[in-house]
Amino acid sequence: MTAPEVPAGPTAAEPWWRGAAIYQIYPRSFQDSDGDGVGDLAGITRRLDHVASLGVDAIWISPFFTSPMRDFGYDVSDYCGVDPIFGTLADFDALVATAHGHGLKVLIDQVYAHTSDQHPWFAESRASHGNARADWYVWADPKADGTPPNNWQSVFGGPAWTWDARRRQYYMHSFLKEQPQLNLHNRAVQDALLDVARFWLDQGVDGFRLDALNHSMHDPLLRDNPPAPDNGRVRTRPFDYQLKVHSQSQPGVVQFIERLRAVCDEYGAIHTVAEVGGDDAEAERKAYTAGTHRLDSAYGFDFLYAPELTAQFVADTMKGWREGESWPSWAFENHDAPRAVSRWCAAQDMARFARMKMALLMALRGNVILYQGEELGLEQDDIPFELLQDPEAIANWPLTLSRDGARTPMPWRNEPLGGFTTGTPWRPLSQANLARAVAQEEADARSLLHLTRQLLAMRNAHPAMRYGHFAKCCADGALLSFEREAGGQHMRCLFNLGTEPVEVPPSLRGGETIFSVNGATPQTLPAYGALYLLG
């Protein structure tokens, strides 16, 4: 199908990141360059030609900083160091240079809510009550009976407090006990984190993904959280039984965001996107991105943790993001969530579903984030309990599709080690995903890999799809429809999220067919069919 001649990518009036497609790389599992079974920065550099070939605008690299790896890099012990397992700072510089040579922007994670308990800041803080960093973390005295100061619970299970004999106080941790909570109410802590941001900006990065940002401040009065009402969903953690109104999501986060934005603005076209989850995530994402003096975008777990994908759910999720200054980002998969094809469809429907899912993601208003291997349709790998390494999965087994199963190595070739390593891979590769290896899909013109490239090219070629308005969203059973518009260009997007054919109402049939997925026509959408109509 031939599309009309229109400008490619954002216009001069639009920043590069508006409507961008961002490819997430989990460095441990992308490509190993030295045979130790763990992916590294040099491996990423080696595979950037594949990423660039997709037509994405940027890469986001999950943490590669110095870390004891209790939470696989999200427990940072040196914010400005590269962990030896991933390489050196010189390797990172080479990666940035190569990415820029491919026309790719580089975003990296920043973890500001907590550090590792091996960080020098924490070592000093726990040493005494009177040292220079004594209040850089969240410390509190026990209750009279020796129990923790309040009822706050950790995301990974158990109290959000651990006793420290050195200070004879409890310290707070929203996640693992090896991840003590930074006290961002302290201006000196904010200054230190802003210096970290400057360090990486000086290294040439083009922006940041801000991890668990709404966890970065607590209620100084340490008030108990109230109980959460039962919403009918299975609750596997004590954390799920509370409304986190005091342990996170404090108003002061916005002021820190404004300080961070001011630093980023010193460096020009830097993109900032926050990860925001929780009980009131949508309101927080909007607050964090309001105006031009806060963050550019934010994303949450709307789709990442959704047990099913229905037309009504998509319509309801998109309802609050149609217009205004807030610009969302959307991800169907990432390193913290099970693969979408394993959550949302039957095994026999995975191939068709993955094609429709990709078409839907590319049509949503906002930025899109692709997780490595999503362009291949990778499924969730089944990791037996005895091989689990993910602390969250171990704590909540068996009521979880573990994060380990979404973090298995990228399959580059259909062979035992997948072209990922010459050693023993840190996680096993499944036969099902090896059959979806890059080389296999490159050789098949009908593969999801080729479809992903076509969809990204289409999105980049049509301003209505990349950064246009979002309107007339309607869910009618399994049929989802909405329109995108920019500069007089109108695109109608139709999706069948069910396993039975759906007849398209006559009122939705007009326009030129620009893209059809799974045999969709203006009259009928077969199971998991998708259609874009121009005009």
Q: Which residues pair with 23 in a beta bridge?
A: 59, 370
Q: Which residues pair with 479 in a beta bridge?
A: 476, 496
Active site residue 266: yes
Alpha helix locations (H) across 339-486?
A: 340-344, 350-363, 391-396, 431-434, 438-442, 448-461, 463-467
Q: In what order do the strands lie in the sheet with 169-172?
A: 139-140, 169-172, 161-164
Q: Indicate the burial class of 152 (C-beta count within 10 angstroms; 0-12, 13-18, 19 or more).
A: buried
Q: Indicate the burial class of 293 (C-beta count within 10 angstroms; 0-12, 13-18, 19 or more).
A: exposed
DSSP-derived letter for residue 197 is H
Asked whether the beta carbons of 406 and 339 are under 8 A apart, the reply is: yes
Q: Indicate the burial class of 140 (C-beta count within 10 angstroms; 0-12, 13-18, 19 or more).
A: middle
| Residue whose tokens read 């109509």 | 533
Of 5, 202, 230, 266, which is the active-site residue? 266
Helical (H) or strand (E) element with 53? helix 48-54
Residue 90: count other Cβ atoms within 10 Å of its Cβ: 11
> Residues 6 or more apart from 160 whose CB is under 8 A from it?
148, 152, 153, 154, 172, 173, 174, 181, 247
Cα 127 to Cα 137: distance, rounded to the nearest angstrom: 12
Active site residue 381: no
**Residue 514 is which amino acid?**
I
Cα 343 to Cα 471: distance, rounded to the nearest angstrom: 28
Helical (H) or strand (E) element with 491? strand 489-496
Structure tokens at 367: 């930025």
Cα 411 to Cα 92: distance, rounded to the nearest angstrom: 23
Of 75, 178, 206, 211, which is the active-site residue? 211
Cα 439 to Cα 42, 371, 419, 489, 493, distances in angstroms: 20, 18, 10, 37, 31
Catalytic site positions: 211, 266
